[in-house]
Chain A
Amino acid sequence: MKKSIRRFYFFLAALMMSTAGIAQTILSGTVKTKSNEPLVGVSIQLKNTATGTATDADGIFKLQIPASESGTGILIFSFIGFATQEIQIGNRSIIDVILLEDTKALEEVVVTGYQTEERKKIMGAVATVSSELIAKIPVSGIDQAIQGRVPGVVVTQNTGAPGEGVIVRVRGVGSLNSNNQPLYVIDGIPTLDATSIAPQDIQSLTVLKDASAAALYGARAANGVILISTKSGASNKLTVTYNGQIGTQSPTRLVPMASTSEYVKIYNEAANNDNPDLPSFLQRPLITPDLASTLSNVNQVKAIMRPTAILQTHSLTFSGSEGNTRFLIAGSYYKQDGIIKASDYTRLTGRINVESELKKWLKAGVNLNVSDATTDLIGSSGDGAGGNGGSVVRYAYFRSPAIPIYDSTGNFVDKPDRYDLFGDGYNPVGMLAYNQNKKITDRLFGKFYVVLKPIEGLTITSNLGVDFTSQNQRRFDRNWGTANRINNPNRLTVVDDRNHTITFSNFATYTRAFGHHNLTILTGTEAIKTELYEITNTDTQFANQTPTLTYLGNGLGQKTLSETRSGNTLLSFFGKASYDYNEKYLVSATIRRDGSSRFGAGNRYGTFYAGSLGWRIDKESFLMNNNWIDKLMLRVGYGVIGNQEIPNYAFSDAYGVTYNYPFGGAKNVGYAVSQLGNANIKWESSNQLNTGVDLVVLNGKLSVSVDYFNKITSDLLNNQPIATSAGLASPPIVNNGKILNRGIELAINYTNKIGDLQYTISPNAGLLHNEVLAVNSPISGGLYGSQYVTRTEKGYQVGSFYMYQMEGIFQNATDIFTHAVQNPITTGPSRIQPGDVKFKDQNGDGVIDGNDRAHLGSAIPKVSGGVNIMLNYKGFDLSVFFQGAYGQKILSVLNRDIEGFYRPFNVTERYYSNHWTGEGSTNLYPRASWDASGNNTQISSRFLESGSYTRLKNVQVGYTLPKSVAGKYGMSSVRIYFSGTNLFTWTKYSGMDPEMSVSNNSSSDGDKANGIDWGTYPAAKSFNVGVNLTF
């Protein structure tokens, strides 16, 4: 009886007309949308009968009904994506109807995990970001697009290289393990990597910040959950949208370096400072005026940059519906040329979202996203101990400007003849020219789902999620340089991996109202299985280094091969009950039990729970009649959620198989432990309290939300360094410590109109107090050379910088004599001389040793936030977006290279102009000397700087053509715009980008050692022009 195929209705209507007989009334009319567009295929039915029809291609319907039905009879107009309307016929014969789009959308519902909830009933700390804001900034990933949009969510650059992703922290640093990222749930399917989704495909984004909101994701929710819904077909009419943007990028800030003439002066000054104290055979030669006059003057940092780096993004979307089937088909192309040569990122995505209402009680659909991303990787952070080789940025900074890039024959100059005068670093331009390190990632992400509505109020959903990633990375380390010193022998590494994740979730929601009592119950199960399979091949000694010939098998040296398989599973049972009385008093309770294969048999299961209470004060009688408060809600939630993001098999140790040794002149294979295990590893858990107030006043013009949270994470999972005397095997993952994150978040939105000028100002801010409450013994992090530069210790922030404090520069001999002994181990003549760095004697014992290190701040911002301003005037729109973070520190180890003066490397302009030249000259920059005491080069607060910044993140000016003009070209909407990103940064930080947070070197330390700048990929500013077209 509920046949819903349009063709059938046409047939039926025709049949009915042909059988028109006595006592029949003919009704007709058109069905249109609010914007006056005819709706095709709307079902029209006479209530409680089999009589019905559908609208034709012009939205017109005709229906014969028994005469008895006119008057009291009711027609039901229903169409997918639109709210169903019931209309009493009365004495009309022409009934024109305007269908409104799905009421759900109008009532503002929020996707909250396994369900949607009405905004007004939400009690947890939940924030949403609209699709317009997400699509505004030309970035490759969704996570980048939410920077500064949500209070309490801090987004920082990873290394900053194109395609490298970002670091997202929800409400501070709650874990110590290297994966502190929030959980992403894309269309109901959980993942830790959202980079393959095009921002243009996003319909809505919700951030669940506290336990009461996130407890449904129990085990994986401790660091927040970001729910993403992709767009789906809505209107009956086919809509075609094209969004395109193209722009150019340039570095926001480069550190000014000394020129060749300055280099010569500072080199000779340092040599003259050192030579009197050295035996003649160790004295340094000077750069003579004759030699100096022949030198080039190269800006090595500019030389590794592209003059113009293009950034472009295009997306094309078709959406609409056909009968009871809604569809969206989208494709996008994103290409970012690196501002550094040879570091490009390209991504293609395709999406199909189809949903069909097969029966009134049965829907089925598929959401599929395919993506193909190509990343040209370069070493741009760290010292080469990371994955992609030595940092070209670091090499470019410290390379002397006197070394030309090419010799007279056009070949790269590598090691200069006078390396004693100009240093022996590699030529960074050559490194880029010969760089061959490409990663291709193909990913299929999506779900197949079925939704049943067997009885009123009950919805049963079954999701089968698939996430298949295959990745191929080929890196050829070409042999080149002076005397072929670089990468000798050459080497090819090919890594092929496949990552399969299957998510199977089944859940039911039951909603029922009993008078003023509203009850919703959700219950379900989820099983997730992930498997990573990887093959790594290496080959070496390629006689011919032509890229087309450097393939496995062509090398003359030894080949190696390894295969690994690694998996983990997660099994969960969950339930949530929500009740409210007349939307005034609200209460909900959540429970989730999770089992994870990552823990040993005895510790697999964890139970997590949360509860929340809400009170809509404005619904109380004493506020009912006021005319300025639209909403005033108090809410409080408490819960315990977990974290299991550790490597698989942490309960077991693991052996490396290449600890070989030759006997009898032949290789013998050797095994040794390479990773220690911990059989007692168990869940990390987070107790979270959240309380907040939502206030909406002035007819919705002003809304304010304030949240206070107190989050205590216990049994922190982390791979803290163990005694170095345990050897070189990686430390086991242990449960150690307790961390407090406490804070206040504020979000304000003010919208108003002055004539035709509509404006919205929305500032948001988060304050954070991070403190280690307990730890068995302090956890060291950030190994630099042989020195740990951070310490996670009771009473301080996570990853707090722990080092000597510079107390100025020794100005004269008396100063040295009266101050604490800087190096107690030597009894010979002290190397400390006037002009050297002075360390503070923290414990006042008269000697400087390890006990004089102090906690000097951390990379965790104390305040973060953003301000978004939007103006609309007739067809014009303007948006301005500022974003900032305050109170964090950055340790610039790059400055140790370029201001530390330990080899004949170039120095910064700042050092050149301000260094110590005699008593009273400066208290900041020590004298020029290579043989000075270790104080000048040792990591100390000398290299620790404030990382606070405010950034003008985005400015966009757009113009939307009047509909009448657009219509002439067959388009329903045309908007063109200009935008600029990262236009200006206010910061005291001397490095390239205060947003930097991790380098390849410290990435395995996670939040134990953030904010160490090894010479990161510079942030880009961009100027773009774009167009949004809708047909």
Chain B
Amino acid sequence: MKTIKIATLFFILACTSCHNFLQEDLQGTFSSSTFYKSESDALVAITGVYNSSAFVNTMNQLWVFGDVASDDAVKGGLAGDQVDVQYIDQFNYVRTNTVLANVWQYYYDGISRANYVLYYVPSINMNAALRNRILGEAKFLRAYFYFNLVNIYGEIPLKLSPPLNLSVINVPKSPVADVYAQIQNDLTDASKVLSKSYSGADVGRVTKGAAFGLLAKAHLYQQHWSDALSAIDSLEASSGYSLVQVYKNNFLDSTQNNSESIFEIQHLSGQTPSLGSFLNQYFSPSIYNGYYFNAPVQNFIDEFENASGVVDPRLDYTVGRAGNKWVNKESFDPTWSSTGYLNRKHSQSKYDAPIIGNSGLNYVYLRYADILLMKAEALNESNLGPQAIVPLNQVRKRARESYLYDKDLPGFGAVPAGLLPDVAYSDQASLRAAIQHERRVELGFEFHRYFDLMRYGQQVAEAALSATGFTYAKNRYFLIPQSELDTNPAIKD
């Protein structure tokens, strides 16, 4: 019958369209199988790793550990706001503390991105030198993330592959020494392939000097004094780092990426999505739309040297306090902060009002002054005290000579008598104390103090943190977040 023929036709129609009907490929979106094909893919991928270092995402709470957990600062801000930061400050945290979880996952995300680059980029057919540089950048950044993580959490999972399957995702903890060994390997590899410097459109990429600098720091943290010194020698030999004349130029957006800068995390305002730093909003007074966190305490203020009524100029570069101006040139009102002080290194002078947490000011993680103080420390600990005072005094000289170079400084023109005199060598212990003092005032509110306290050892750390619940035995390292324990069956505690 004709009708049956028609009906049969329908069925045939329905089935002939089946060929390849179930093949649906990802469209408009890259996947690992369509990405990593060209030089430009490799460049775009390494940029994605740098993204994880920036203070664009508020999960990057390095400031909480570096400053708030130390004896320099308290949480500040509105009472009750970000109360988990306060628990860190008081060493009264639990594993579900959001700060513990945020930094953990944010830096591991950076490690994951670096691992993708290191996994896929080697097989891209491209300029070999550029490929090696990109792999070096990835290794440096991976080392940087691990360095922060191992110093916060101690024993942590060491992941060197991208999260392609559960066996490389659920990794148990590694000893601290193993993590450091990997950091050293990565930095050594990176130092061989990274450029000494960049110009133009590449400024901000990690350099050979940055690799040596971070390597020196890693050795220093493990008290490998001679290795630290040799890394510093390599750094000084590779490029001409020098202290900038005016200390505050390290913290102004107009003088970024200067000769003192070794590893500087780059920010840029006015971008969509944001590439600006949120730190200025976090640390600014409420009347300028800030949250006034990370407030310096009196003990930190008291650390700065005085001479005949004149204080170390670095104090007023570092904190806002009664009698000085805030970064927008308005008089600082001590009621802006519960401690009477606010930190100002992350609030740029080109002051946006209102503050919207999208600042172009970079964060300088490693600068030459830090290297000089590391050198002084390593020399002193190697019983070379008389040599150690040389780099230490370089740092002090630059600080006091702010009076010669910073026209905005009240009393500009001549160094006040007796201010920040050169340190003379007497014995190892006093020089050690002098270097520790110098690091605190030179690098204040650059997120280093807590880590320095921990590596100085139990005695120093417990003395500095005596007002809190801190004990070296229990709090040397923070806890791995509960969210990791709940999702990673390879870690039990």
Measuring CB to CB, which residues of chain A are less than 8 angstroms from any residue of chain B?
A: 281-282, 284, 361-362, 419-420, 424, 452, 454-455, 460, 462, 482-485, 488-489, 504-506, 508, 525, 527, 529, 538, 540, 557-560, 563-569, 571, 595-598, 601, 604, 648-649, 652-655, 657-673, 676-677, 721-729, 777-778, 780, 783, 785-788, 791, 823, 825-829, 831, 849-850, 902-904, 930-931, 933-934, 937-938
Whether B47 sits at the interface, judged by CB under 8 Å, is yes
Q: Is the CB of B47 within 8 A of A527?
A: no
Closest chain A residue to B78 by CB distance? Answer: A424
Q: Is the CB of A560 within 8 A of B484?
A: no
Q: Is the CB of A724 within 8 A of B3?
A: no
With contact pairs A489-B356, A558-B270, A826-B91 given, residues A725 and B488 touching in the complex (Cβ less than 8 Å) = yes
12 contacts between A and B (CB under 8 A): A483-B287, A488-B354, A564-B29, A569-B22, A662-B267, A662-B275, A667-B271, A670-B46, A672-B49, A727-B163, A826-B92, A850-B485
Q: Is the CB of A659 within 8 A of B51?
A: yes
Whether B45 sits at the interface, judged by CB under 8 Å, is yes
With contact pairs A483-B288, A488-B356, A787-B482 given, residues A671 and B93 touching in the complex (Cβ less than 8 Å) = no
Q: Is the CB of A663 within 8 A of B204?
A: yes
16 extra interface residue pairs, beta carbon distance < 8 Å, beyond A723-B490, A726-B159, A828-B468: A462-B10, A483-B288, A525-B14, A560-B272, A566-B27, A597-B23, A654-B30, A659-B52, A662-B271, A663-B203, A672-B51, A724-B483, A724-B488, A727-B113, A786-B482, A827-B469
In the complex, what distance in Å separates the CA atom of A695 from the CA atom of B161?
A: 63
In the complex, what distance in Å separates the CA atom of A907 from the CA atom of B22?
A: 56
Q: Which of A604, A670, A677, A788 contacts B51 (CB 8 A)?
A: A670
Closest chain A residue to B201 by CB distance? Answer: A664
In the complex, what distance in Å separates the CA atom of A525 from the CA atom of B106?
A: 49
Q: Which of B270, B470, B482 contacts A828 (CB 8 A)?
A: B470
Whether B486 sits at the interface, judged by CB under 8 Å, is yes
Binds A, one of B96-104, B234-242, B420-428: B96-104
In the complex, what distance in Å separates the CA atom of A852 from the CA atom of B80?
A: 26
Interface size on B, residues (CB 8 A): 118
Q: Is the CB of B31 within 8 A of A652?
A: yes
- Indicate the member of A281, A597, A667 with the most B CB atoms within 10 Å: A281
Q: Is the CB of B80 within 8 A of A930?
A: yes
In the complex, what distance in Å separates the CA atom of A596 from the CA atom of B23?
A: 9
**Contacts of A489 on B, CB cut-off 8 Å?**
356
Q: Is the CB of A661 within 8 A of B54?
A: yes
Q: Is the CB of A786 within 8 A of B7?
A: no
Q: Which of A538, A665, A902 contacts B80 (CB 8 A)?
A: A902
* B226 vs chain A, min Cβ distance (A): 33
- Indicate the member of A482, A485, A557, A849 with the most B CB atoms within 10 Å: A485
> C-beta contact mask, B21-34 vs A, less than 8 Å → 1, else 0?
11110111111110
With contact pairs A672-B113, A828-B91 given, residues A485 and B354 touching in the complex (Cβ less than 8 Å) = yes
**Contacts of A677 on B, CB cut-off 8 Å?**
31-32
**Contacts of B475 on A, CB cut-off 8 Å?**
825
- Indicate the member of A504, A508, A665 with the most B CB atoms within 10 Å: A665
Q: Is the CB of B201 within 8 A of A666?
A: yes
Q: Is the CB of B50 within 8 A of A661?
A: yes
In the complex, what distance in Å separates the CA atom of A284 from the CA atom of B87?
A: 18
Whether B157 sits at the interface, judged by CB under 8 Å, is yes
Q: Is the CB of B275 within 8 A of A903?
A: no
Q: Is the CB of A778 within 8 A of B486?
A: yes
Measuring CB to CB, which residues of chain B are less than 8 angstroms from any residue of chain A?
A: 1, 3-4, 6-7, 10-11, 13-15, 17-18, 21-24, 26-33, 35, 41, 43-52, 54, 74, 78-81, 83-84, 87, 90-98, 100-102, 104-106, 108-113, 116, 156-157, 159, 162-163, 166, 169-171, 198, 200-205, 266-268, 270-273, 275, 286-289, 338-340, 353-354, 356, 468-471, 474-475, 479, 481-490
In the complex, what distance in Å separates the CA atom of A598 from the CA atom of B287?
A: 53
**Contacts of A362 on B, CB cut-off 8 Å?**
3
* A947 vs chain B, min Cβ distance (A): 24
With contact pairs A652-B31, A938-B96 given, residues A452 and B7 touching in the complex (Cβ less than 8 Å) = yes
Q: Is the CB of B202 within 8 A of A663?
A: yes
Q: Is the CB of A660 within 8 A of B271?
A: yes
**Contacts of A462 on B, CB cut-off 8 Å?**
10
In the complex, what distance in Å separates the CA atom of A462 from the CA atom of B3?
A: 13
In the complex, what distance in Å separates the CA atom of A485 from the CA atom of B169?
A: 40
Closest chain B residue to A935 by CB distance? Answer: B94
Q: Is the CB of B169 within 8 A of A723?
A: yes
**Contacts of A827 on B, CB cut-off 8 Å?**
469-471, 474
In the complex, what distance in Å separates the CA atom of A420 from the CA atom of B79?
A: 8
Q: Is the CB of B169 within 8 A of A722?
A: yes
**Contacts of A361 on B, CB cut-off 8 Å?**
3
Q: Is the CB of B14 within 8 A of A504?
A: yes
In the complex, what distance in Å separates the CA atom of A557 from the CA atom of B30?
A: 27
**Contacts of B338 on A, CB cut-off 8 Å?**
281-282
- Indicate the member of B94, B171, B275, B339 with the most A CB atoms within 10 Å: B94
**Contacts of A727 on B, CB cut-off 8 Å?**
105, 108-113, 163
Q: Is the CB of B48 within 8 A of A670?
A: yes
* B72 vs chain A, min Cβ distance (A): 15
**Contacts of A568 on B, CB cut-off 8 Å?**
24
Q: Is the CB of B51 within 8 A of A664?
A: no
In the complex, what distance in Å separates the CA atom of A665 from the CA atom of B156?
A: 35
Q: Which of B10, B26, B45, B354 contacts A649 (CB 8 A)?
A: B26
Closest chain A residue to B76 by CB distance? Answer: A282
* B485 vs chain A, min Cβ distance (A): 6
* B293 vs chain A, min Cβ distance (A): 13
Q: Is the CB of B78 within 8 A of A419?
A: yes
In the complex, what distance in Å separates the CA atom of A779 from the CA atom of B78?
A: 36
Q: Is the CB of A787 within 8 A of B483?
A: yes
In the complex, what distance in Å separates the CA atom of A595 from the CA atom of B24?
A: 12
Q: Is the CB of B270 within 8 A of A557?
A: yes
In the complex, what distance in Å separates the CA atom of A424 from the CA atom of B484?
A: 32
Closest chain B residue to A508 by CB distance? Answer: B7
Q: Is the CB of A655 within 8 A of B30?
A: yes
**Contacts of B83 on A, CB cut-off 8 Å?**
902, 930, 934, 937
* B24 vs chain A, min Cβ distance (A): 4
Q: Is the CB of B90 within 8 A of A828?
A: yes
In the complex, what distance in Å separates the CA atom of A728 from the CA atom of B93?
A: 23
Q: Is the CB of B356 within 8 A of A786?
A: no
* A422 vs chain B, min Cβ distance (A): 11
Q: Which of A424, A663, A728, A777 contacts B201 (CB 8 A)?
A: A663
In the complex, what distance in Å separates the CA atom of A933 from the CA atom of B97?
A: 13
Closest chain B residue to A725 by CB distance? Answer: B108
**Contacts of A669 on B, CB cut-off 8 Å?**
44, 47
Q: Is the CB of B289 within 8 A of A483?
A: yes
In the complex, what distance in Å separates the CA atom of A361 from the CA atom of B271?
A: 67
Closest chain B residue to A491 by CB distance? Answer: B272
Q: Is the CB of A825 within 8 A of B91?
A: yes
In the complex, what distance in Å separates the CA atom of A666 from the CA atom of B275?
A: 10
In the complex, what distance in Å separates the CA atom of A483 from the CA atom of B284?
A: 13
Q: Which of B10, B26, B171, B201 contacts A725 (CB 8 A)?
A: B171
Q: Is the CB of A452 within 8 A of B6?
A: yes
- Indicate the member of B52, B339, B353 with the most A CB atoms within 10 Å: B52
- Indicate the member of B48, B52, B84 with the most A CB atoms within 10 Å: B48
* A7 vs chain B, min Cβ distance (A): 26
* A58 vs chain B, min Cβ distance (A): 37
**Contacts of A724 on B, CB cut-off 8 Å?**
101, 104-105, 108, 481, 483-484, 487-488
Q: Is the CB of A671 within 8 A of B108?
A: no
Q: Is the CB of B21 within 8 A of A788?
A: no
Q: Which of B94, B112, B481 contacts A823 (CB 8 A)?
A: B94
Closest chain A residue to B465 by CB distance? Answer: A828
Q: Is the CB of A664 within 8 A of B203?
A: yes
Q: Is the CB of B289 within 8 A of A672?
A: no
**Contacts of A787 on B, CB cut-off 8 Å?**
96, 482-483
**Contacts of B44 on A, CB cut-off 8 Å?**
668-671
Q: Is the CB of B3 within 8 A of A660?
A: no
In the complex, what distance in Å separates the CA atom of A672 from the CA atom of B113?
A: 6
Closest 10 CB pairs of A and B: A828-B469, A786-B101, A670-B47, A826-B469, A727-B109, A672-B48, A727-B112, A723-B488, A670-B48, A903-B80
